Amino acid sequence: MTRTAAAADGVVLALDAGGSRIRGAVLAPDATVLHRASAETGVERGPDAVVETLLDLAGELAAEHRPVAAGIAVPGIIDQAAGICTFAANLGWRDVPIRQWAAEELGIPVVLGHDVRAAALAEARLGAGRGCRSFLFVQMGAGVAAALVLDGRILVGGHGSAGEIGHLTVRPRGRLCACGKRGCLETVASDAALAGAYSRATGEQVGAEELWRRAQAGDDVAEWLWDRTVPALADGLAAAVALFDPRRIVVGGGPAQVGRSCFDPLRTALEKRLAFQTTPEILPAGLGRDAGCVGAGLLALEQRPVRARVGAPPRPHARLATRR
């Protein structure tokens, strides 16, 4: 695709900043993914380096494809109107004006969104949420987070932090979470928690998908991990079902890559925890790992992006250290 053709076609740039990888994509006006790219997040290098990696990836894609706008999805708590990531534990960010910096870097309008809510938007329009106006989207990755679609609208919350199901306390005497509490759901059920526990027990580094396969094949450690993960996840989902009564639960992340067989034990465990509530159907995400990135692209396509404020300060990443 030539630069001239790309710009004329009105393509948009989409970026999804995850705890382990930053995914980028170029979307056509009909939301078709034309190109994909990614880079390791590298959180161990510090928050400044994560910002640089995100903007470098965005700049490379923009130079090649000439997008007319960009959407960026990030985890944590965001102020979408101001374009600021208020707090993202998995990225080490506090009060990062990422929309502003990206707009300065790319020279195009940029819209900022929450990664899981963006993924829920994509699943609602194009994936496993289609045809269902009330569903819960749960993303299992570096952490565990959720987005609630009620009557066709995604719930944001009074302070922009609705859906932080990963920080429900399910095991009060459990491991210390990055948020500072003990026993949060994501200390047990996230991909990162599963991989970390397996590594500590065996010395091997494997992902959630491989863990499920090993559990099915009779690996004792993998079986034990899933046996403790399913009840913890069911505890968190039961609380969400009691509060919001979704018709469907869509699960993204590692387990979604395995397929429906992974969800049979979870469905059974959830049903046991509900009293009079109807057990919602549980489905794997339809868009897989693309959901957050596609959702960011939809934000760029379907909302009028907000340009960076005139006179905003330049991008001095050293300020991140002083702001924390």
Confidence band of 263 (pLDDT split at 50, 70, 90) = confident
In the structure, what pLDDT confidence band is assigned to residue 321 with cuts at 50, 70 and 90?
very low
Q: What is the pTM of this model?
A: 0.84
Give residue 213's pLDDT: 84
Domains within the chain, CATH numbers bracketed: 3-114+292-323 (3.30.420.40), 128-286 (3.30.420.40)
For the cut 70, the answer to whether the pLDDT of residue 25 exceeds it is: yes
pLDDT at residue number 255: 64
Among the residues of the chain, which ranges form H helices? Answer: 3-9, 47-65, 98-106, 115-126, 186-189, 191-202, 208-216, 220-244, 254-258, 263-273, 291-302, 319-323
Asked if 169 contacts 130 with a C-beta cutoff of 8 angstroms, the reply is no
d(CA 39, CA 23): 7
Q: Give the CA angle between residues 151, 154, 160 to the nearest 5°.
A: 140
Please compute the mean of the pLDDT values over residues 259-277 and round it to a whole number.
86
Residue 6's pLDDT is 41
- The pLDDT, as a whole number, for residue 257 is 66
pLDDT band at 201 (very low <50, low <70, confident <90, very high): very high
**pLDDT band (50, 70, 90) for residue 208:** confident
Ranges 20-29, 112-121, 152-161, 306-315: which has the least confidence: 306-315
Higher-confidence position of 255 and 228: 228
If pLDDT is split at 50, 70 and 90, which confidence band does 317 have? very low
Tell me the per-residue pLDDT of 136-176, one tens digit each, with 9 for 90 and over.
Answer: 999 988 789 999 998 888 988 887 788 889 999 999 999 99
- For residue 303, name the pLDDT band (cuts at 50, 70, 90): low
Mean pLDDT, to the nearest integer, of 15-41?
Answer: 93
pLDDT band at 320 (very low <50, low <70, confident <90, very high): very low
Q: What pLDDT does 162 receive?
A: 86
Q: What is the pLDDT of residue 89?
A: 79
pLDDT of residue 258 exceeding 70, the answer is: no
With a cut of 60, say whether residue 322 has pLDDT above it. no
**pLDDT tens, 79-111?**
888 999 998 877 889 999 999 999 999 999 999
Q: Calculate mean pLDDT across residues 250-264.
A: 74
Average pLDDT of the residues of the chain = 86
21-37: burial string, b at 16+ Cβ within 10 Å, e else: bbbbbbbeeebeeeeeb
Non-local (6+) Cβ contacts of 185 within 8 A are 144, 165, 166, 167, 168, 169, 170, 232, 233, 235, 236
